[in-house]
Structure formats: structure tokens, C-alpha cells
């Protein structure tokens, strides 16, 4: 438009009739170049406007996604309770099937929320009986019974001094006097004042209950026990150092597992070289679903090389999310790389605002896959039966879903959210399907993600680790307490027992100190 106006004005200023043939040709050539130039400018402007439209649409999608994440229920499971019918262009038989799946999912969810009733108090707790009689004169009345009401009470922990009085004995022979004295029990800090029990509770408070050491110092202070912060920090460090041989043995054992789930999460670490600056480090988390072993390992980086200590010579099933750092390990000979359907589902959940029809169709199909897993769990099937059930019910779903994605991926914009969702699944399709062929395998990586959650709680309380060494000590603590949780072991009782025995135990028998092996000892309550 601009070039046409410009040309018209230019023509009006020149008397074309008085120009020679050569002048006229030169003039036309010049005008052609001018028009071409302006056309290029117009094309560029139109392209920039189109890019701005795309950016605006993407921002609107992200705002809607943020609003849904902030104000809706925090769950990965797709369900739309306000939707009475699916889009009009869906086939009637497909619509009925989708509505039935959604109905079953909602019914199942509601059933899980049923209140179990008043909790039963455990039998091992001590009981204080308090007798309450009616007010007034009871001399002319006869007791006809009694009612009992149990209330769970709590008495705060208290400090005490353990005073070891060791008697000395000497031989009566004055010429060759020999003195003997009672031996102190084994302690982690031989010359220090903390007992193994105190060390255990310090570490449990810090890493299980996410109570930073400076807050624990406040507890000491309320009891008029003046202990320097640096001293308490040193106690915690020495306590974790004593557990190092047990941790190193667990690292060896985790590498020999035939099925590992791997994930990573962040931890801020103070930068020793830059004052008041922090470094973003990573916890690499390994979970063996069959043996239920868990291990955390700290690395200053998220580079794939951080997994070398465990995955370098790993053989078996390796299950991860879509992070590219795992690709090289999954492609190794002897390794079967498993994908995570939970991560694939999240991609399509994000795409609901972008293309509801396509995203909704895929989410419903993924729901069906999880329904099969739920059936296997409810029926308490063994691995072989789970495999047969998956091949019967899940394999047809995956085959049809794969065909649908192949047909749709070329009809979507690659940079749109629905396009990204299709690409995520398509490029990992073999990995996502591999769980079908062994009943011991999981459909997703959620078990290892559940293990990571205490780290997120810890970050909110103590914000950062004081150094790279402190971050690795924390990794050791998270390792042991995650294993306690996996095997339903009281972390304080376990840690107290380990601190009392780790220095004297034979190295060949050190695995006896693993939480699940400790549980087999059936030690009962440890004070």
C-alpha cells in the first residue's frame, strides 16, 4: 500500500511525455526497485505482527494454566466435573465411553475420601488412669458401671544427665599393682558431652521434622543449657560422618539393582568463594522399586556426568522422566529405558487451554491405562498376572493411542502446547510402552518423586546447605530416613541403635544396620 502511494506521487511530479526511451526505462527500473523494497518492508512488518500474535496467545495460555494450577485442586488426574458432555464432533460411541471413564474416576475419587472414623490408639502406649466420680454425696448410691474415654496426650521431651560412675580396682600385690576400671559404653563423640541418643534426635529433628539446628539451639536455651551453635553443628556433622561406611555400602548395593527409578531435585548451597551468594546444586535420587532401597547423592551440577557413580555400569531397567541427561544411559547395551506416563499426562493437561478436544481425548485414554494398574493392585495380582492383564487391556489402548498421535501430530503447530505434548510422547513412545512386558515394572516414576518430597519441605525451613560437604551429609541423612519411611521403621529408634553399634560391628555384617534389616531384629521400643 505504501509503495503504491509513493509511486503515484512520484509520477505526478515528473512529466513522462518529455522523457526519452532510455530515461523512461531507467525510471521504470528505479520504480520497480522502490516498489520491491517497500513490499519487503510490508512483508517484514506482517511477519512481526504474526509473531506478536503468537506471543500474545502463548502468554494468554500460560496465564490460564497458572490460574488453574493456583485455584484448582492440585492433582495430576484429569477430570472435569462441570462438563456434562464432550465436544460435539466426538463420535457418540466414543463420547459414551469417555463419559463412563470419567464417571468411574470421579466415583473412585469420592470413595477414597470416606472418613475412616475415630482412630484407634495403639496398645503399646503407657496409660495414666484418672478416676472421676460424680459430684455430691454418694453414700446412699450404688455404682452400676463406668464409662471409659481415651484421650491422646503428649509430654514434651526433656533433658537429663547420664552420669557414669566407673569404679577403679587395684590388685593387693603392692609390688605389681594392676588397676582396672569399668569401661564406658561406645559413643560417637568420645570426648564430647552428647549421648548417642541426643545425636539421634538432633538428626531426626533436622532431616525428618525439618527443624533447623538454630531452632534446636533455642530448645536448649529454654532449658538453660548454653551450647554454642558451632558446637551443635559439629555434633551433627560428626554424627553423619559415623554413618558414612553404611552409606557407602548402600551405594554399592543400589548399583547392583536390576530396576532403578531416577530423578533429581535442587538444593541451594552457599558459595564458599562468593560471600552471601548461593549455588544451585542437585540431589540425584535413586529408587529400587522391588527391594525398596533409596539413595540420595549430591552433585553441584545437573550434567549427565553427575549420575556416573551409579549409572556408569548399570544393567537392567532404568526409569526416568524426559530429561535429556538420561538418554545416553538409557541407550547403553543391557539397559531398557522406561518412560513415565505421569509426565506425559502433565504435558496434555497443560494443553487443555490450547486444544481441549485433542488433549481431552488423550487424557481419557491415559486414564484407562491407570485404571488397569488400579485393577491389578486391587486384585493383588502377582507380576506374571499383571503382565497378562496389561497385554490384554493396556496394549490395545496404547496401540490405538499411538495411531491417533501419529495422525494428529502433523496437523498441529509444533510450537503450540498441544504440539509439544504430542512431540514429547511420540519421541519417547518405545520408552512409554516398555512397562507392559514385565509385571514388576511401574507405569510411571511417581514412587521416586514421592521420595523427594521431604527435600522440598526441608528447603522451606532451612533454605540452603552451608557447603557442598553439608549438602552431601544431608543426602546421606535423606537416604537413611527415606529407607526408614519405606520400611515403616521408627527413624529415631533405628538411628540410636546404629550409632550405638556401627563402630564395633564387623564390616561384613554392616548391612544388618539397614532399616529393613533392623526391623527384622524385632528389638521393640528403644528408649
Domain boundaries of the chain, sorted by first residue? 1-36
* Span 228-240, pLDDT tens digits: 999 999 999 999 9
Under the banding of pLDDT at 50, 70 and 90, the label for residue 456 is: confident
Is the pLDDT at 296 greater than 80, yes or no? yes
Cα separation, 118 vs 122, whole angstroms: 13
Give the count of beta carbons closer than 10 Å to the beta carbon of residue 75: 9
Collapsing DSSP to helix, strand or coil, 317 comes out as strand
DSSP 359: H
Q: In the 8-state DSSP scheme, what is residue 507?
A: G
Euclidean distance between CA atoms 506 and 511, whole angstroms: 10
Per-residue pLDDT tens over the stretch 268-287: 888 777 777 788 899 999 99
- With H, G, I as helix, E, B as strand and everything else as coil, classify residue 279: strand
523 pLDDT tier (thresholds 50, 70, 90): low
CB neighbour list of residue 212: distance below 8 Å, 6 or more residues apart:
206, 461, 462
pLDDT of 495 = 95
> Taking residues 319-337, what's their average pLDDT?
93
> pTM (2 decimals)?
0.74
Check whether 507 has a pLDDT greater than 70. Answer: yes
Give the pLDDT of residue 100.
58
How do residues 422-452 score in pLDDT, each as one tens digit?
999 999 999 999 999 899 999 999 999 888 8
Contacts of 268 (CB under 8 A, 6+ apart): 278, 279, 280, 281, 459, 463, 464, 465
pLDDT the model gives residue 295:
95
Tell me the pLDDT tens digit for each residue of 154-176: 666 788 888 888 888 888 777 77
How much is the pLDDT for 82? 43
Report the C-alpha gap between 335 and 317 in whole angstroms: 6
Give me the phi and psi of 419, to 5 degrees please: -65, -40
pLDDT in tens, 105-119: 545 555 555 555 666
- Residue 7's pLDDT band, with cuts at 50, 70 and 90, is very low
Q: What percent of the chain has pLDDT over 70?
A: 82
> How confident is the model at residue 154, as a pLDDT?
65
> What's the gap between Cα 161 and its chain centre?
41
C-alpha 398/C-alpha 400 separation (Å) is 6
With cut-offs at 50, 70 and 90, classify the pLDDT of residue 80: very low
Sign of torsion over alpha carbons 373, 375, 378, 379: negative
Does the pLDDT of residue 94 top 70, yes or no? no
User: Is residue 432 helix, strand or coil?
Assistant: helix
Mean pLDDT, the chain, whole residue set: 83
Determine which helix (DSSP H) or strand (DSSP E) holds 96, and give its type and residue range. Answer: helix 92-112
Whether 244 shows a pLDDT value over 90: the answer reads: yes
Q: State the angle between helix axes of 213-222 and 229-242 in degrees (0 to 180), rounded to the nearest 10.
A: 120
Amino acid at each position: 500500500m505504501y509503495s503504491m502511494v509513493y509511486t503515484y506521487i512520484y509520477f505526478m511530479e515528473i512529466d513522462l511525455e518529455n522523457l526519452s526511451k532510455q530515461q523512461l526505462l531507467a525510471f521504470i527500473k528505479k520504480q520497480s526497485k522502490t516498489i520491491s523494497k517497500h513490499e519487503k518492508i510490508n512483508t517484514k512488518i506482517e511477519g512481526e505482527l504474526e509473531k506478536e500474535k503468537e506471543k500474545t496467545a502463548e502468554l494468554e495460555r500460560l496465564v490460564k494454566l497458572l490460574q488453574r494450577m493456583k485455584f484448582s485442586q492440585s492433582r495430576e488426574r484429569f477430570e472435569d466435573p462441570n462438563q456434562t458432555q464432550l465436544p460435539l464432533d466426538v463420535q457418540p460411541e466414543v463420547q459414551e465411553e469417555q463419559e463412563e471413564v470419567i464417571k468411574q474416576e470421579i466415583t473412585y475419587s469420592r470413595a477414597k475420601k470416606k472418613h475412616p472414623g475415630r482412630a484407634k490408639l495403639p496398645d503399646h502406649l503407657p496409660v495414666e488412669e484418672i478416676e472421676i466420680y460424680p459430684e455430691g454425696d454418694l453414700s446412699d448410691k450404688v455404682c452400676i458401671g463406668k464409662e471409659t474415654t481415651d484421650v491422646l496426650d503428649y509430654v514434651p521431651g526433656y533433658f537429663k544427665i547420664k552420669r557414669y560412675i566407673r569404679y577403679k580396682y587395684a590388685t593387693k600385690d603392692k609390688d605389681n599393682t594392676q588397676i582396672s576400671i569399668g569401661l564406658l559404653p561406645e559413643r560417637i563423640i568420645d570426648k564430647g558431652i552428647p549421648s548417642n541418643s541426643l545425636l539421634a534426635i538432633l538428626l531426626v529433628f533436622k532431616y525428618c521434622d525439618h527443624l533447623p539446628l538454630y531452632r534446636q539451639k533455642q530448645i536448649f536455651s529454654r532449658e538453660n543449657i548454653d551450647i554454642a551453635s558451632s558446637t551443635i553443628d559439629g555434633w551433627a556433622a560428626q554424627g553423619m560422618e559415623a554413618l558414612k561406611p553404611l552409606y557407602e555400602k548402600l551405594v554399592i548395593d543400589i548399583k547392583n539393582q536390576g530396576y532403578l527409578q531416577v530423578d533429581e531435585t535442587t538444593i541451594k548451597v552457599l558459595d564458599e568463594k562468593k560471600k552471601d551468594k548461593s549455588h544451585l546444586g542437585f540431589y540425584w535420587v535413586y529408587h529400587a522399586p522391588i527391594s525398596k532401597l533409596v539413595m540420595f547423592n549430591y552433585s553441584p551440577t545437573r550434567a549427565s556426568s553427575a549420575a556416573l557413580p551409579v549409572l556408569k555400569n548399570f544393567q537392567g531397567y532404568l526409569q526416568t522422566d524426559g530429561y535429556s541427561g538420561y538418554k545416553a544411559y538409557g541407550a547403553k547395551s543391557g539397559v531398557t529405558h522406561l518412560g513415565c506416563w505421569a509426565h506425559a499426562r502433565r504435558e496434555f493437561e497443560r494443553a487443555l487451554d490450547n486444544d481441549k478436544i485433542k488433549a481431552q481425548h488423550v487424557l481419557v485414554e491415559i486414564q484407562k491405562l491407570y485404571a488397569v494398574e488400579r485393577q491389578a493392585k486391587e486384585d493383588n495380582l502377582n507380576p506374571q498376572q499383571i503382565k497378562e492383564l496389561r497385554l490384554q487391556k493396556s496394549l490395545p489402548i496404547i496401540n490405538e493411542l499411538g495411531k491417533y498421535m501419529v495422525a494428529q501430530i502433523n496437523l498441529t503447530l509444533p510450537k503450540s502446547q498441544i504440539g509439544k505434548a504430542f512431540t514429547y510422547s511420540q519421541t519417547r513412545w518405545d520408552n512409554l510402552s516398555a512397562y507392559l512386558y514385565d509385571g514388576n515394572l511401574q507405569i510411571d516414576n511417581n514412587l521416586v518423586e514421592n521420595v523427594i518430597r521431604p527435600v522440598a519441605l526441608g528447603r522451606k525451613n532451612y533454605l540452603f546447605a552451608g557447603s557442598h560437604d553439608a549438602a552431601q551429609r544431608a543426602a546421606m541423612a535423606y537416604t537413611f530416613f527415606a529407607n526408614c519411611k519405606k520400611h515403616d521403621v521408627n527413624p529415631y529408634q533405628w538411628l540410636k541403635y546404629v550409632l550405638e553399634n556401627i563402630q564395633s560391628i564387623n564390616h561384613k555384617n554392616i548391612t544388618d544396620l539397614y532399616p529393613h534389616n533392623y526391623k527384622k531384629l524385632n528389638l521393640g521400643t528403644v528408649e
